[in-house]
Amino acid sequence: MRWPLVLALTAVIAVSACGGSSTTPSGTGTLRMMLKDSPFTDGKSLLVTFSEVDAHRGEETNPTWNRIDFAGGALTRTCDLKRLQTAQDILGVGLLTSGHYTQVRLVVATAVIYFDGATNGDVCGPTIAPPPGRKANVTIPSREVKLNREFDVPLGGATTMLIDFDGDKSVQDTGNGQYMMSPVINIASVE
């Protein structure tokens, strides 16, 4: 009677050991979203805070958006777009159900343009210390940007998407020191 119990326990331990070594849940892959900016002439810094990044899966009949997490589990991610003209930084990384996706959505919470100084330290992070000097809040009438681009997230693999935020076309001086942003964002590449 003891042998069946020993064999059953051995089988459970063996299965647990095999399943416990995987860091990616079954049926998923990784989407990594990178951000860069085209040349931007106004100001020395443009701090843009993203509150949400999502991907839409193509096979779903009821439209649902799958959240892409910001680094470190932060609720928002702020980037100095001016410093992303010659660099790239990570916007978010998410484990998604593997399969075919048709859109990404970015939600911009706030934007502030700084005229006298540049930021120091990280280019993107949960918060970025603003530089001293003159600044102007940027009004964002349409906070949500949807980008239609089909891509696949392979089972157990990774897909990297590079998003190009065009600061020059996005931010407009409306006069009297007022600025408005209609985000112009393109998907530069998907690998």
| 42 band by pLDDT with thresholds 50, 70 and 90 | confident
Assigned domain for 8 exists: no
Distance, CA of 109 to CA of 163 (rounded, Å): 17
Bigger pLDDT: 71 vs 13: 71
Backbone angles phi and psi of 133, in degrees to 5: 110, -170
| 128 band by pLDDT with thresholds 50, 70 and 90 | very high
pLDDT of residue 134: 94
Assigned domain for 7 exists: no
Assigned domain for 4 exists: no
What angle (nearest 5°) sits at the alpha carbon of residue 53, between those of residues 52 and 59?
Answer: 130
pLDDT of residue 60: 63
pLDDT in tens, 76-118: 999 999 999 888 999 999 999 999 999 999 999 999 999 999 9
Assigned domain for 5 exists: no
Assigned domain for 1 exists: no
pLDDT in tens, 139-179: 998 888 899 999 999 999 999 999 998 888 889 999 888 99
pLDDT of residue 86: 84
pLDDT of residue 49: 95
Lookup: tokens for 42: 């106004």
> What single letter denotes the amino acid at residue 28?
T
Say what percent of the chain tops pLDDT 70.
Answer: 85
CB 181 within 8 A of CB 111: yes
Domain extent for 33:
24-190
Distance, CA of 38 to CA of 9 (rounded, Å): 60
Say what percent of the chain tops pLDDT 90.
Answer: 58
Q: How many domains does the chain have?
A: 1
Assigned domain for 11 exists: no
Assigned domain for 87 exists: yes
| 1 band by pLDDT with thresholds 50, 70 and 90 | very low
**Least-confidence region, from 28-42, 58-72, 140-154, 163-177:** 58-72
Assigned domain for 149 exists: yes
